[in-house]
Amino acid sequence: MRVLVTGGAGFIGANFVHQTVRERPDATVTVLDALTYAGNASSLDGLERVELVVGDIADAELVDSLVARHDLVVHFAAESHNDNSLHDPSPFVRTNVVGTFTLLEAVRKHGVRYHHVSTDEVYGDLELDDPAKFTPETPYNPSSPYSATKASSDLLVRAWVRSFGVQATISNCSNNYGPYQHVEKFIPRQITNLVDGVRPRLYGAGQNVRDWIHVDDHNSAVWAIIERGRIGETYLIGADGEKNNLEVVQLILAEFGLGPDDFDHVTDRAGHDLRYAIDASRLRDELGWTPRYTSFADGLRATVEWYRANEAWWRPAKEATERKYAAAGH
């Protein structure tokens, strides 16, 4: 099977490529990645049966020629960081909306199976004290430019399935953690700050809740949907990992032998979503998927160890990232 992975030099995409090479000897992988600030070719070092094509998913000619020679497209490429989307939304519209449109036109023309990777943020947020979780029936209600462009891309996929019979599935996953995540994101930022002797930075009071899932569990769910999912269907991916940001910071502090108050509060994010929570019943009941990382504390410990052991991977991005945060008051 010839698999085209967009965004395969980013966090989740690179872990997907590692898992695919490890577990699927019949697969060859082409990664299409623009190597933006978030892409890192070294995340794919040492992998066999992987070719990296450096290019833009909004480049219709390139995308058409690549899609024509593959059996499956798995679309991870995106502008993915909420804080950046508040500073400058324009690349989010281009990559997330126009890029997805470009891929859909190519899979339509060549009749290629397509899986669309999306986020639970398309549903907006939940109240902290609300027992409800997101389900596939929850209405779309995105809050940020990032989530609005992801929601737009999901709607394009649904329309291409219905109008043109494109063979597509969609997944909406909760917050991922694990190796190869950019240091701009919450967990790697705090870990690498602590390596540098800098106190963690909590937005607002730290009461916002995210539903954490290990990146390998996200990717095993993506494979389950590709192999056994119903065409045109949306699957929510989550592993019952709700934690507020304060709890996460305190777990990380404990890994460094520091106390529960050894962090700073900084300016909150504009429009900051309160809580995300996923009901993954369809994925579990229909496709028989289960997560392997059932202990967040254990998964987090392994992630802290990964960042300690792989400073050469993250160090080049650290200073510029912190400069951007300082300018925004975070």
Nearer to ligand NAD, 136 or 258 (CB): 136
8 A C-beta contact, residue 40 and residue 9? yes
Nearer to ligand TDX, 108 or 134 (CB): 134
- What SS3 class is residue 153? helix
Selection from 151, 103, 123 nearest residue 7 by Cα: 103
Question: Active-site residue among 120, 211, 217, 273?
Answer: 120
Q: Check if 261 is active-site.
A: no
Binding to ligand NAD (CB under 6 A) within 46-85 occurs at 56-58, 76-80
Beta strands 242-244; 209-211: pairing state: antiparallel
Contact partner, 186, from ligand NAD, ligand TDX, none, Cβ < 5-8 Å per class: ligand TDX
- What SS3 class is residue 76? coil
Question: Active-site residue among 121, 125, 217, 273?
Answer: 121
Identify the residue among 1, 35, 198, 205 touching ligand NAD (CB under 6 A).
Answer: 35
Q: Check if 121 is active-site.
A: yes
Please list the alpha-helical segments (H only) found in the chain: 11-23, 60-68, 82-87, 90-92, 100-110, 145-164, 186-195, 215-228, 245-255, 281-287, 296-309, 311-327
Q: Is 192 in the site for ligand TDX (CB under 6 A)?
A: no
C-alpha span between 39 and 31 (Å, rounded): 11
C-alpha span between 97 and 93 (Å, rounded): 5
C-alpha span between 187 and 264 (Å, rounded): 15
Q: Check if 242 is active-site.
A: no
Identify the residue among 20, 85, 95, 119 touching ligand TDX (CB under 6 A).
Answer: 119
8 A C-beta contact, residue 291 and residue 229? no
C-alpha span between 29 and 50 (Å, rounded): 5
Unique residue bearing structure tokens 């709700």: 242
Contact partner, 82, from ligand TDX, ligand NAD, none, Cβ < 5-8 Å per class: ligand TDX
CA 242 centroid distance within chain: 17
Contact partner, 202, from ligand NAD, ligand TDX, none, Cβ < 5-8 Å per class: ligand TDX
Nearer to ligand NAD, 93 or 246 (CB): 93
Contact partner, 242, from ligand TDX, ligand NAD, none, Cβ < 5-8 Å per class: none
Nearer to ligand TDX, 108 or 275 (CB): 275
Binding string, residues 9-28; x marks residues near ligand NAD by CB under 6 A: xxxxx---------------
Least distance (Å) between residue 103 CB and ligand TDX: 18
Contact partner, 76, from ligand TDX, ligand NAD, none, Cβ < 5-8 Å per class: ligand NAD
C-alpha span between 29 and 19 (Å, rounded): 11
Q: Is the Cα dihedral 291, 292, 297, 299 positive or negative?
A: negative
Identify the residue among 4, 5, 33, 152 touching ligand NAD (CB under 6 A).
Answer: 33
> Active-site positions?
120-121, 146
Q: Which residues bind ligand TDX (CB under 6 A)?
A: 80-82, 119, 121, 175, 185-186, 189, 201-203, 208, 210, 245, 269, 330
Binding footprint of ligand NAD on the chain (CB under 6 A): 6-7, 9-13, 33-36, 38-39, 56-58, 76-80, 95, 99, 117, 119, 150, 173, 175-176, 182
